[in-house]
Amino acid sequence: MKTTLDELKAFVAVVDSGSITAAAEALGLTISATSRTLARLEDKLQTTLLRRTTRRLELTEEGAAFLEYARTILATVDEAEEQMAARRQQPVGRLRVDAATPFMLHVIVPLLAGFRERYPQVQLELNSNEGITDLIEKRTDVAFRIGVLRDSTLHARPIGHSRIRVVASSEYLRQYGTPTRIAQLRAHTLLGFTHPGSLNEWPLTDADGGPLVIQPAIASSSGETLRQMAVNGLGIACLSDFLTRQDRREGRLVQLFAKQTQEVRQPINAVYYRNTALAARITCFVDHVTQTLGQRPFDE
């Protein structure tokens, strides 16, 4: 075999990062060394993999085809090394985890100490994004998503579910009154999401017998921002139990319309690409999350 793993890593790093400079930084190499490695690979293959323009690098047709082989080879080597580590029951390597900020703060972060104690050789990299993340583009190993999945290219492992409830702070209710009928919500400050619109569909029934769709007076893309506003008495919100469980237990937030609330549970899944071998480090992390959540349900 003429091509080396270091050359494959350099090629993939340049493609993923978009430049030789960024790839060199990611690999811990000099720019000149990375450039020479890429040139050496092209010389061995006797083809041009990347077309250099004044503004960016673009894959040639041959480069796009070779990229798929390179990713497969590197993934296979990683899997082989991880399987050997798994035989020693000590998963190793970097694990890139992605989740929306509220889920990361309220669910993932509290269980990290236990995970690190069990698997000290796994290097965690945590990233938060409010929208849907492209796992390959962001080099993400596993992501946690709440709600119905629409991407068929992803493999999903259910890890739990979370109810949604209408909540407000005691201070807000003291100042503006507690609504006892759903129609009275129109006279209150409602907190909702900027997107997607489905998150502004509350588990209550409107006057026509359908789901109550609210028009928020204050909107945010982040559930954590809405939680903070609700706790600080800015209005009434509808949020997932994993966000409000502690607040409800400690009295910072109070559930409204408990008897009228329909039981709507949002599914929570760990997702990764189907064409990616499930590494031992991913398995142990998802197992840890699932086991921990099973011992501490959101709606208790």
pLDDT in tens, 37-54: 999 988 988 999 998 776
Q: Is 195 inside any structural domain?
A: yes
Contacts of 94 (CB under 8 A, 6+ apart): 122, 123, 124, 125
Q: Quote the pTM value.
A: 0.66
Name the one residue in this structure whose structure tokens are 């998150």. 199
Q: Of 246, 256, 159, give the one whose Cα is nearest residue 202.
A: 256
Q: What is the mean pLDDT of residues 202-207?
A: 89
Residues 130 and 191 in one domain: no
Q: What is the mean pLDDT of residues 20-31?
A: 89
Residues 243 and 188 in one domain: yes
Residues 220 and 134 in one domain: no
CATH label of the domain that carries residue 136: 3.40.190.10
Q: What is the mean pLDDT of residues 70-90?
A: 77
Structural domains counted in the chain: 3
49-53, 79-83, 289-293: segment of lowest average pLDDT: 79-83
pLDDT of residue 195: 83
Provide the β-strand partners of residue 95. Answer: 124
Residue-range definition of the domain harbouring residue 236: 162-265
Residues 123 and 252 in one domain: no
Helix or strand holding residue 101 (H, E) = helix 101-103
The SS3 call for residue 269 is strand
Q: Is 300 inside any structural domain?
A: no
- For 299, phi then psi, to 5°, come to -95, 20
Q: Is 177 inside any structural domain?
A: yes
The model's confidence at residue 105, banded by pLDDT at 50, 70 and 90, is very high
Return the beta strands (E) in the chain as ranges. 50-52, 57-59, 93-99, 122-128, 142-146, 154-168, 190-193, 201-205, 211-213, 218-220, 236-240, 254-255, 265-273
The SS3 call for residue 15 is helix
pLDDT of residue 167: 97
- 123: which DSSP letter? E
Residues 170 and 250 in one domain: yes
